[in-house]
Structure formats: structure tokens, C-alpha cells
């Protein structure tokens, strides 16, 4: 599983010209599922996403996590992240998880994020939003920094 994290001031998703998800300060995370991924991998990646220290502290060092700042989280399934781009001029998707298997795992990741992140900071519920699996989405964002990391 690959996760592309973008620290954002805001992000939104439109599907068929309709606003379907929107967040404020936090993380926009594109998720690429690969053939060998499972719930254990999803849980490990989610823990890392929630704990990854990429937000500035009072001295402007990247020392705070999404959980620390109680930021928003927007998860988007993006199978192209699983592409092999090492050979030729066309990406190969042979390592990507087939959609029939990927959708339930993506749904599991979203549910786990809502459950885990909704229980941080006492009873404060984290704002977790999502795109729609396999939809043609138009994503707008303001990258903060820019700060972008690929977790593999």
C-alpha cells in the first residue's frame, strides 16, 4: 500500500460537478492498493498516517502529527499510485490490486480511520472525509508548504 500525503490548508472533491467532500487544515491522502495488501497492512499504514509528524510546532519544526493538531483527513483511492514506472514509457498496473478486491479493503481503511481517528483527543471526533471509489473525481486543494510525502 502506498499513501501520498499532502499537507493542505483545504481540499475538496467534486463528482459530476457536485461538491461531495471538503476538509480544512489537515491531510489529503491518496491511497494506492497493491496485490499483497490486507487489513494488517491497512492498519499499519493508517497508524503511520495519523502519527506522521509533518505539521510545524511552535518553533516551526515538523514535529506534530495530524492527531496532535486535530486536523482533517481526506482519503482518496488512487490505483495509479500502484503503477510500476521503471520500464518503458507506459505505466504497468500489474502490481495494483484488482478493483473487486481493492474496494472492500479501501472501505475497511476508511472505516478504520473514522473509528481510530474519531477517538483521539478525548471525545473530540476527527473530521474524516473520503472520495468515491473508482469515480471520476475533480480534486482541488491548497498544498501547505508545499509538503508532500510518499509512504511506501
- A 10 A CB-CB count for 67 gives 19
Residue 136 CB burial class (10 angstroms; 0-12, 13-18, ≥19): exposed
Contacts with 54 (C-beta within 8 Å, 6 or more apart), sequence order? 5, 7, 62, 65, 147, 149
Side-chain-side CA neighbours of residue 19 (13 Å): 5
Instruction: Name the CA dihedral angle for 106, 113, 70, 20, rounded to a multiple of 10 degrees.
Output: 50
Answer yes or no: are the C-beta atoms of 27 and 71 closer than 8 Å. yes
Catalytic residues: 78-80
- State in Å, rounded, how far the first CA of the chain is from the last one: 6
Amino acid at each position: 500500500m502506498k499513501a501520498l500525503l499532502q499537507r493542505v490548508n483545504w481540499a475538496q472533491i467534486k463528482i459530476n460537478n457536485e461538491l461531495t467532500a471538503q476538509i480544512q487544515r489537515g491531510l489529503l491522502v491518496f491511497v494506492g492498493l497493491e496485490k499483497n495488501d490486507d487489513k494488517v497492512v491497512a492498519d499499519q499504514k493508517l497508524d503511520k498516517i495519523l502519527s506522521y509528524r509533518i505539521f510545524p510546532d511552535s518553533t516551526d519544526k515538523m514535529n506534530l502529527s495530524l492527531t496532535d493538531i486535530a486536523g482533517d483527513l481526506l482519503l482518496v483511492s488512487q490505483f495509479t499510485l500502484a503503477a510500476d514506472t521503471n520500464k518503458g514509457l507506459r505505466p504497468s498496473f500489474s502490481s495494483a490490486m484488482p478493483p473487486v478486491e481493492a474496494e472492500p479493503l479501501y472501505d475497511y481503511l476508511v472505516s478504520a480511520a473514522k473509528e481510530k481517528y474519531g477517538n483521539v483527543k478525548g471525545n473530540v471526533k476527527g473530521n474524516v472525509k473520503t472520495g468515491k471509489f473508482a469515480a471520476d473525481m475533480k480534486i482541488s486543494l491548497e498544498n501547505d508548504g508545499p509538503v508532500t510525502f510518499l509512504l511506501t
